[in-house]
Amino acid sequence: MSKMNRNYRKFFLIIILIITIFLSSCVNFKNSENYIKLVISEYSSGPAVEGANVKIYCGNTLLEEVTTNKEGIVTFSKTIQIGKPYTIVISKPFHAKTVIDIERLQSSLTINTTLRKANFVENMENKMNIVYSIYDSEQKKIKYTPSQEGIYTIFSTSSIFIEAQATSSDISISHMYAKIGTPPGAEFLTSPRLYSESSRLSGNIETTGFYGKTYLFIDCYDVNDNRYEKIIPIYFSDSVNLKLKPYIVEPQKPAIYAYTIRSETKYYNFSQNLEKLGSLDVGLNTYIKVNWKKWEESTQNLITDKPYGYAIYRSYDGKNFEKIAVVSDRENSYIDTSPTNRFGKRVWYAVASVYKFLEGARNIVGSVVLLPSFKITNVKPYDGETNVSVTPEFSWKFEGLEDFEGIKYKYEIWLYDWTVNKKHYYYPVDSSNNRIIFETKNPEIKVKFEDYIWQDLDEGKLQSNKPYEWAPELLAAVLEDDKNNSIAVSIVCDYNGIISPVLIPPEKYYLFITGN
């Protein structure tokens, strides 16, 4: 081949390459990362909402209308474009309504949200809105304004000051929340955020640990539990220190605690009175607490740089991890209430140290499987039993956790005498007069009355021909998994606050009458 022919060939290849690049720039390739994913539960740590109607709008144009699956999840991707505003409306019969306004989508977004049962009127229209301002501090020397793309750029700062006003058309506003990074959760379970029991909200929100693209979430609720959420795009800008030595996050031992609690207690309730619960059918709360060592507590605080915060990741296969939260450097734990955490499904957690525009390597701190709930059967003395011994044997069987090896059952027994002027109650105590919390791996329980000292019962036996009531006031199952650095707990009853963060009374007290 001549030198001239080789030059012609090279020239044509360059022309074809230029044309290819030009045409590819004109083609609108689908970006698989552009999505909005919703995970909808009835309340924080509560059950997923299946069959909810979800509509997504861009302006006044309805883009898609779908229904949540059994895990309460919907994902929009076909119609989603970065840089566009979106409104999401979630509804279901007998429920209040949730409306989410995304002012501008700057990156794909997963939103954990709620659709609560209406307090008094279902599907009653109440148009809500939130007007807000963002400042550098409480002194308001700088007011941040959005760019032409609708994004607030915030330079190096440890906090920002928020002012927000919620309005409604027909039903008064009950309370408001604000949080950076993820939607505000329930007041017992959420990481730090602003909160107000009115239609006005103001205060400082810590920004330590955040960098690059994220969102500010401002929520309001009316007294019917309708929810309105405004999602505001924020970009944290700062210089990058390429010489830092990141802290590889060290786990606590154990690092993971998984809780399954028989309860419909909604942790956002403001009353100090814990509601009494009925049967096992009322539902469950489930959540997982992730723990790690702060940099100051670690063995690396002399050889690594102090982080600005910590990023928490979750995985359902131990390989592919999704970032679910960022917290400040003062935190050493995070509570995950996502309804995507299912019984019998292992979930892994990793934590990374966060610096300005950099993260340290993710370190898997542990994994856990949520325990399902359980029940007790073969209860004796049974409810209404007569001619019971004055030194009875209390017995029952734990059922529902047979597939799990190494379960430890915890329980305690209380006995009540309602026939005297002053109500008496009795429980087993040890030689130091401490209340006994029983623990066993045997699911079949037998507690002989005469084997124990009973608090305030001097005779050592019950009276003849007399009614009493009794119940286990603690029923819990614990699975310690040293290999995966975790503990899973399932609690059916805890009326005295031994394990559970809320008081759960017994499902039933058993009345019996002693014989001669």
Q: What is the pLDDT of residues 391-410, one digit of tens each?
A: 999 999 999 999 999 999 99
The answer to whether 254 and 487 have CB atoms below 8 angstroms apart is yes
Q: What pLDDT is attached to residue 460?
A: 82
Of 153-162, 265-274, 439-448, give the lowest mean pLDDT range: 265-274
Q: What pLDDT is attached to residue 264?
A: 53
CA atoms of 67 and 40, how far apart (whole Å)? 11
> Who wins on pLDDT, 421 or 348?
348
Q: What pLDDT is attached to residue 191?
A: 56
Q: Is the pLDDT of residue 482 over 70?
A: yes
Mean pLDDT computed over 5-29:
43
Q: What is the pLDDT of residues 55-104, one digit of tens each?
A: 999 999 999 999 999 989 999 998 899 999 999 999 999 999 999 999 99
Mean pLDDT computed over 93-118:
93
Residue with tokens 């060290």: 250
What is the rounded average pLDDT for all residues in the chain? 86
Helix, strand, coil shares, percent, the chain, to 5:
5, 45, 45
> Tokens in use for 511?
């009345």
- Residue 258 identity: A
Mean pLDDT computed over 164-192:
81
CA atoms of 490 and 399, how far apart (whole Å)? 12
Q: What pLDDT is attached to residue 231?
A: 97
The answer to whether 68 and 50 have CB atoms below 8 angstroms apart is yes
Q: Is the pLDDT of residue 267 over 80?
A: no
pLDDT band of residue 494 (cuts 50, 70, 90) is very high
> Who wins on pLDDT, 513 or 181?
513
Residue with tokens 């909810």: 52
pLDDT band of residue 16 (cuts 50, 70, 90) is very low
Q: Which domains does the chain have, with CATH numbers?
A: 36-237 (2.60.40.10), 251-369 (2.60.40.10), 375-514 (2.60.40)
Residue with tokens 């949520």: 370
> Who wins on pLDDT, 17 or 144?
144
Mean pLDDT computed over 181-191:
62
Cα-trace Rg, the chain: 29
Of 40-44, 273-277, 304-308, 491-495, give the lowest mean pLDDT range: 273-277
> Who wins on pLDDT, 480 or 42?
480
> Who wins on pLDDT, 317 or 45?
317
Chain centre to alpha carbon of residue 442? 32
CA atoms of 205 and 137, how far apart (whole Å)? 10
Of 214-218, 276-280, 332-336, 476-480, give the lowest mean pLDDT range: 276-280
CA atoms of 276 and 254, how far apart (whole Å)? 31
pLDDT band of residue 123 (cuts 50, 70, 90) is low
Q: What pLDDT is attached to residue 62?
A: 96
Q: What pLDDT is attached to residue 238?
A: 74
Helix (H, G, I), strand (E, B) or coil at 19: helix
> Who wins on pLDDT, 279 or 385?
385
Q: Is the pLDDT of residue 186 over 60?
A: no
The answer to whether 365 and 337 have CB atoms below 8 angstroms apart is no
Q: What pLDDT is attached to residue 215?
A: 94
Q: How many Å is the maximal CA-CA distance in the chain?
A: 120
Q: What is the pLDDT of residues 412-459, one digit of tens each?
A: 999 999 776 557 899 999 999 999 999 999 999 999 999 999 998 878
Residue with tokens 């394990």: 499
Q: What pLDDT is attached to residue 277?
A: 33
